[in-house]
Structure 1
């Protein structure tokens, strides 16, 4: 159900929410599969398919490993599908690749202005991603919204992983807000389920990632084209 108390804090996912997933991450997915396959093109195709991505079209299945998994989960899945690495080795490689990918990411909108506007209205703001914390901070720095964040959590920040509630509860502890004063905004069901399990006031899905209205309908209170439509539902 939509929030009955005013929303005072907003916790955003990163990839597919603040960043356009197709433009930002499909090229990275091809590269990570190539690296994980050590250049073996046929194995790279197998690894992409295991991650939930069509190697020809680039389409990523909603809630698949590449859509919603954290680095360890993606590495585990690819090692299981034949990547000639240990999970620990591949996790380290992927973490480095993902942190560098911030330099090539494509934002959904002018993120500095977007966050500045929300900050000026008094919202507490955070980012919770299945990516590593370094990558989130690199992204925030590159796009000029780091000074507006009250909280950052990656899979490796100690708050647990999605869809568990820990990242939301960490945001609440950092900001002094109750869960029902928080909106979680994301592009897949891991985000929505994280919010629901924490008891947030509102779950908001966006369509700039891998999810669809159909795949997200059951777990979100609102489904928006992108984050630029967010303020309209926050103030309803």
Structure 2
């Protein structure tokens, strides 16, 4: 295998499946999720704009740039983790956290498809990869329902994406390997024939923990090239560069 962050050659021939992260990978993170996160914070605070701003900053927002930090709560965590962190800030009783999780998931599921900004023509890309004989899946810290809605709206239904797992699908969250194990169980592929692609070190570490052949970083999320290159096998500008990588 190549050195982290460099071009990949030999292992590509062994890849039979690709497991994508969703937000920051298939969809541009900041274009898609800045307005969704803002809506979620207003939902959490029941319309208090000052407290909502406090929650967003705690979640990783830089108010000056409007961007989220790599590895921050809103860049990498799932709804349960977000709700628990925000509940502590709001001094919310523990027995109210399940309701907050439900309200946040509902907000994410409603606003996510509205603001979803694919990094390119996802259907064309996925079709091309599928036609190479690759089995495709998605593993996200969003809910499974939220992922299905966004992918369907982008033209990536079950004919292209064989597996979708969210934080609530029973496989656990990232960077643990459960979502990859679910993918290999559903498809019959061995982990060492799978490539994981994501914008965050949570994705890279998930792939490593599961024994995947390759873990590839992309720059359409919250992480810089330097953030990812330390642990990824290669870093691409976006998933639109995958066909060229597969041909390398």
Displacement, 1:150?
1.2
Corresponding residue of 1:213: 225
- For normalisation by structure 1, the TM-score amounts to 0.95
1:128 aligns with 2:139: yes
Residues 40-98 of structure 1: CA distance to partner in whole angstroms, max 9, x if unpaired?
Answer: 22211211111111234321010011000001011111111116572211110111111
Corresponding residue of 2:114: 103
Residues 143-181 of structure 1: CA distance to partner in whole angstroms, max 9, x if unpaired?
Answer: 111121111100011111100001111111111111110
Structure 1, unmatched stretches of 5+, are none
Corresponding residue of 2:56: 48
Runs (4+) of structure 1 moved beyond 3 Å? 1-5
Q: What is the CA RMSD across the aligned residues, in angstroms? A: 1.4
Contact 2:19/2:138 (<8 A) preserved: yes
Q: Distance in 2 between matches of 1:19 and 1:65?
A: 18
Q: Distance in 2 between matches of 1:14 and 1:115?
A: 13
Corresponding residue of 1:201: 213
Q: Distance in 2 between matches of 1:71 and 1:130?
A: 7
More off after superposition, 31-40 vs 224-233: 31-40
Corresponding residue of 2:130: 119
Q: Distance in 2 between matches of 1:30 and 1:140?
A: 22
1:82 aligns with 2:82: no
What is the 5 A alignment of 1:160-171?
A: 160-171=172-183
1:8 aligns with 2:16: yes
1:21 aligns with 2:32: no
Count of aligned residue pairs for this structure pair: 236
Contact 2:198/2:216 (<8 A) preserved: yes
Corresponding residue of 1:232: 244
User: Matched residue of 1:99: which SS?
Assistant: helix
Corresponding residue of 1:32: 40
Q: Distance in 2 between matches of 1:188 and 1:28?
A: 19
Q: Distance in 1 between matches of 2:91 and 2:102?
A: 14
User: Matched residue of 1:157: which SS?
Assistant: coil
Structure 2, unmatched stretches of 5+, are 3-9
Q: Distance in 1 between matches of 2:196 and 2:76?
A: 15
1:191 aligns with 2:203: yes
Contact 1:182/1:200 (<8 A) preserved: yes
Q: Distance in 2 between matches of 1:25 and 1:214?
A: 23
